[in-house]
Amino acid sequence: MSVPAVRTAPPLAPGTRPVPGYEVLAHLARTGWLDVYDVWSEERDCRCVVKTVRPDHRDQEQMCDQLLREGRWLEAFTHPHLVRAYETFDSPVPLVVLETLTGETLSHLVHRLRRRLSAADVALLGVQLCSALHYLHGQGLLHLDLKPSNVVVDRGHAKVLDLSIARPPGPAPAGVGTFRCLAPEQARGGPLSAAADVWGIGITLYEVAAGDAPFGRGDSREVPPRGEEGDEPCDGSVTGGRDDRYPQVEGTAPPIGLRRRLPGRLAAAIDGCLQADPSSRPSVAELTAALDATLPGPGRRTACP
């Protein structure tokens, strides 16, 4: 007997007002649990971005809470390399209003450019990512999903997106994050520390420098956010759990030097981020100093901000 297909509500049409003061201009994207819109803010007299839980997932209370938590964090945080949130609404629909960013994601940039970024640009990007992660860690949070598609760059200025699976350091279920970007300890499950985000910086710089990720090429499966109770996925799907699904658990990352010739100190910094043992990776401050040392000119940074 065939099972009837589940009908998913279409995105909001242009002209719709999801909450007072905001008018939908266009639907930008639909993920496994979110809709993203280009909207007009009457109060600010400018365009903004709205993230909201998809209609077919709004009965998932933990998923809605996760989005609202992210919005409140981004409203409170102030950092030049983190996206800003303007407002968070819990009714009539769970919704977060974010600044509109110019530029493009690193994932788009890597595939658009005919030439790879220079070594200096890779190092400067790394310093900016370290700055954002240093700030987040100071707020008591790990990002846990740093990857090229979660970084927007405009004229050399990077901003980190998406705190949807961010959580404090400590125990976490297996497999939270994006399949090909997970640190080994994220894949296995267990205690997580700032070293997991150092891995994310390494994955991002590796892909930007080499044009491809070191693990799971072409595989960008993402895990929906998980609830706090029972550590189960909010939508009840089965994710994670078996180490042998993850190549980063089975083996080590190939040295960046096998994919591209880079200055020795920069290559060593990227390779250091991708050590299987979290204790063998540099701290964010050490990584900042190592990347900064590869930058030319007198304006180099010598310590984490």
* Domain layout of the chain by residue ranges: 22-99, 104-292
Its pTM stands at 0.85
Topology adopted by domain 104-292: Transferase(Phosphotransferase); domain 1 (1.10.510)
CB 234 within 8 A of CB 62: yes
Instruction: Look at residue 184 in the predicted model and tell me its pLDDT.
Output: 94
Q: Is 145 a catalytic residue?
A: yes
The CA distance from 97 to 200, in Å, is 26
Handedness of CA 209, 215, 220, 223 (dihedral sign): negative
Q: Which residues of the chain have pLDDT under 50?
A: 3-5, 218-244, 299, 302-305
Contact 187, 249 (CB under 8 A): yes
pLDDT of residue 121: 95
Residue in this structure with the two tokens 């890779």, named with its chain if needed? 122
**Tokens linked to 116:** 């790879």
* CATH entry, 22-99, from 3.10.20.30, 3.30.200.20, 3.30.70.580, 3.40.190.10: 3.30.200.20
Provide the 8-state DSSP code for 11: P
CA angle 96, 99, 102 (to 5 degrees): 140
The predicted structure's pLDDT at residue 3: 45
Name the catalytic one among 35, 145, 197, 292.
145
pLDDT score recorded for residue 300: 54
Residue 154: beta bridge partners? 157
32: tokens are: 């496994």
Give SS3 for 210: helix
Output the pLDDT for position 179.
87
Query: Residue 176: which of 243, 233, 242, 107 has the closest Cα?
Result: 233
